[in-house]
């Protein structure tokens, strides 16, 4: 009898899978996807499931027998073509030029020369060093960027020490590439936008006016150069910065702690940054198509939108995960799993009420979506569209044998994409106090 029940539940889930695939795609779901609204398609889906099954109303959370859990829902077929999409020589400079393309370099050269001309035309002291300025070329900018990267490898307390002739601290290579005087002038006039063309009423992101165009060009190159593998993750990244900005964030869990926050989508296996949105407070520029959603949901959908309907599997932490987000992803043929806050809207009513002992698992199923709570040292809550409530025996670092839900193991394996990207950037810390002249 138990095996028949399990088989029947699996059939019902497969019927639900088929009905989900027929639901509206991203292009025609703007009205039905608003929070709290139910589309007529979802009502017809639930009606299509046979009423004599145990999950006759598959759009309602139902308790799951964790000792004899039904099999996990099938994943959406992955139709992406991961890998490098452009021909490239196998050398560091060639890879860098994929992202800092000619369009990016030309833009920086033009705006740097424009800003220098504007500054020099302003009243100055007769002996001002800016009078010695000469317009830069693409070759000058590449040399400048190379020295910036090298300063992240060869750390020194003061910028002028890189050109010091003192034998104790000398690094002769810097002087052979560019003089300290020339480097300092380029640093002074380095610019990415035309200040005179700025119009706050029409600019898409006024707070980012200084870097907006170049940042968009670079992120477009990141998306066009490489297609990520199936497993991707979204998390916050923090670039260290302690200057004067109204949107500087403090994140205690990050190594930098203070800096400019961005929402970042990375490939889980490699940490490749595929998409990113800089956070500037209320003015943060997300995709207008998701303006009906809250910050957590709209940030994820803005990042993952180009990858929808291709069978990707997204991992998120409890700041982003919610039934609202996962329902949208299911309708657009995208799987997801991650930790979740038990008090999220539309979670099972009894999800956080039942007291558990160490090692206990409780779970609820709603169509393709599973909500699970597991008691370790504390309660760990998870949401998934590809897992069941099964556990796997593992061994901890201390040698202790522990039964851990499969969804938690997979989450720990695939959530670290952004952390890998942050780790890679620490090897070349180009944002440094050492760039100061004194």
The answer to whether 25 and 332 have CB atoms below 8 angstroms apart is yes
Percent of the chain with pLDDT over 90: 56
The rounded radius of gyration (Å) of the Cα atoms in the chain is 27
pLDDT value, residue 393: 85
Amino acid 152: pLDDT: 84
Q: Return the closest-CA partner of residue 212 out of 198, 226, 230, 233.
A: 198
| Mean pLDDT (whole number) for 258-284 | 92
Confidence check: pLDDT of 350 > 90: no
Q: What's the pLDDT score for residue 126?
A: 63
359 or 56, which is more confident: 359
The whole-angstrom separation of Cα 303 and Cα 263 is 8
Q: What are phi and psi for residue 249, nearest 5 degrees?
A: -110, 155
What percentage of residues in the chain have a pLDDT greater than 70? Answer: 83
Work out the angle at residue 369's Cα, subtended by the Cα atoms of residues 367 and 373, and round it to the nearest 5 degrees.
130
Q: Identify the residue with better confidence: 194 or 258.
A: 194
pLDDT at 229: 96
When comparing pLDDT for 24 and 297, which is higher?
297
Q: Treating both helix axes as pointing N-terminal to C-terminal, what angle do 212-225 and 102-121 enclose, rounded to 10 degrees?
A: 170
Does residue 351 or residue 286 have the better pLDDT?
286
Instruction: Please count the residues of the chain.
Output: 438
pLDDT for 256 equals 72
Cα dist. 228→48, 306, 419 in Å? 36, 12, 16
Of 82-96, 281-295, 318-332, 424-438, the range with the highest mean pLDDT is 318-332
Burial class of residue 238 (count of CB atoms within 10 Å of its CB; 0-12, 13-18, 19+):
buried
With tokens 């017809």, the residue in question is 44
Of residues 34 and 121, the one with the higher pLDDT is 121
338 and 318 Cβ atoms separated by less than 8 Å: yes
Distance CA 437, CA 433 (A): 10
Q: Tell me the whole-structure pTM to 2 decimals.
A: 0.80
Q: 291: exposed, middle or buried (C-beta count within 10 Å: 0-12, 13-18, 19+)? A: exposed
Residue 139 and residue 172 in contact, taking contact as beta carbons nearer than 8 Å: no
> Do 346 and 322 meet the contact criterion of CB atoms below 8 Å apart?
yes
d(CA 250, CA 406): 33
d(CA 375, CA 354): 11
pLDDT: is 297 or 52 the higher one? Answer: 297
CA dist 172 and 170 (Å) reads: 6
Strands 83-84 and 258-267: unpaired
* Residue 431: per-residue pLDDT: 59
Place 57 in a pLDDT band, splitting at 50, 70 and 90: very low
- Under the banding of pLDDT at 50, 70 and 90, the label for residue 430 is low
Instruction: Report how far residue 240's alpha carbon sits from residue 429's, in angstroms, rounded to the nearest whole number.
Output: 10
**pLDDT for position 51:** 34
Confidence class for position 293, pLDDT limits 50, 70, 90 = very high
User: ∠ at Cα 63 (59, 69), nearest 5°?
Assistant: 105
Convert the pLDDT of each residue in 97-128 to its tens digit: 999 999 999 999 999 999 999 998 887 766 67
pLDDT value, residue 263: 95
Q: Over the chain, what is the mean pLDDT?
A: 83
Q: Name the more confident of 48 and 337.
A: 337
Poorest-confidence range of 48-57, 128-137, 140-149, 185-194?
48-57
What would the pLDDT profile of 194-205 be if each residue is shown by its tens digit? 999 999 889 989
- For the cut 50, the answer to whether the pLDDT of residue 356 exceeds it is yes
175 CB neighbour count, 10 Å cutoff: 15
The pair of structure tokens assigned to 215 is 């940042």
Average pLDDT over residues 249-260: 81
Q: In this structure, what token pair is assigned to residue 383?
A: 């949401």
């Amino acid at each position: 009898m138990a095996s028949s029940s399990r088989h029947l539940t699996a059939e019902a889930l497969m019927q639900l899978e088929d009905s989900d695939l027929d639901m509206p795609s991203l292009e025609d779901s703007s009205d039905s996807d608003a929070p709290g609204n139910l589309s007529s398609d979802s009502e017809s889906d639930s009606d299509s499931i046979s009423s004599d099954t145990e999950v006759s109303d598959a759009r309602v959370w139902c308790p799951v027998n964790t000792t004899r859990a039904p099999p996990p829902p099938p994943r959406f077929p992955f139709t992406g073509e991961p890998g490098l999409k452009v021909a490239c020589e196998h050398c560091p400079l060639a890879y860098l030029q994929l992202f800092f393309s000619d369009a990016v370099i030309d833009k920086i050269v033009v705006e740097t020369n424009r800003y220098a001309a504007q500054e020099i035309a302003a009243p100055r002291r007769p002996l001002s060093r800016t009078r010695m300025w000469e317009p830069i070329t693409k070759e000058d900018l590449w040399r400048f960027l190379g020295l910036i990267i090298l300063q992240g490898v060869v750390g020194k307390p003061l910028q002028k020490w890189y050109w010091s002739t003192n034998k104790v601290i000398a690094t002769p290579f810097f002087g052979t590439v560019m003089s300290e005087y020339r480097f300092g002038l380029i640093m002074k006039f380095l610019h990415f936008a035309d200040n005179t063309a700025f119009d706050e009423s029409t600019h898409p992101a006024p707070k980012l006016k200084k870097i907006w165009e170049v940042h968009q060009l670079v992120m477009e190159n990141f998306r066009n150069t490489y297609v990520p593998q199936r497993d991707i993750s979204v998390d916050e990244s923090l670039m260290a910065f302690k200057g004067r900005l109204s949107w500087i964030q403090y994140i205690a869990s990050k190594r930098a702690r203070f800096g400019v926050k961005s929402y970042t989508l990375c490939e889980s296996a490699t940490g490749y940054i595929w998409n990113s949105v800089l956070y500037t407070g209320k003015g943060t520029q997300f995709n207008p198509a998701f303006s009906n959603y809250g910050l957590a949901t709209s940030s994820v959908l803005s990042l993952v939108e180009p990858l929808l309907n291709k069978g990707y599997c997204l991992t998120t932490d409890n700041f982003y995960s919610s039934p609202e987000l996962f329902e949208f992803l299911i309708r657009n043929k995208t799987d997801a799993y991650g930790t979740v806050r038990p008090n999220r809207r539309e979670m099972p009513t009894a999800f956080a009420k039942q007291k558990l002992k160490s090692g206990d698992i409780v779970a609820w199923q709603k169509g393709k979506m599973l909500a699970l709570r597991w008691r370790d040292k504390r309660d760990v809550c998870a949401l998934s569209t590809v897992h069941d409530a099964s556990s796997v025996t593992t061994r901890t670092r201390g040698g202790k044998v522990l039964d851990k839900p499969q969804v938690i193991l997979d989450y720990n394996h695939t959530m670290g994409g952004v952390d890998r990207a942050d780790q890679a950037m620490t090897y070349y810390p180009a944002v440094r106090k050492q760039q100061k002249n004194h």
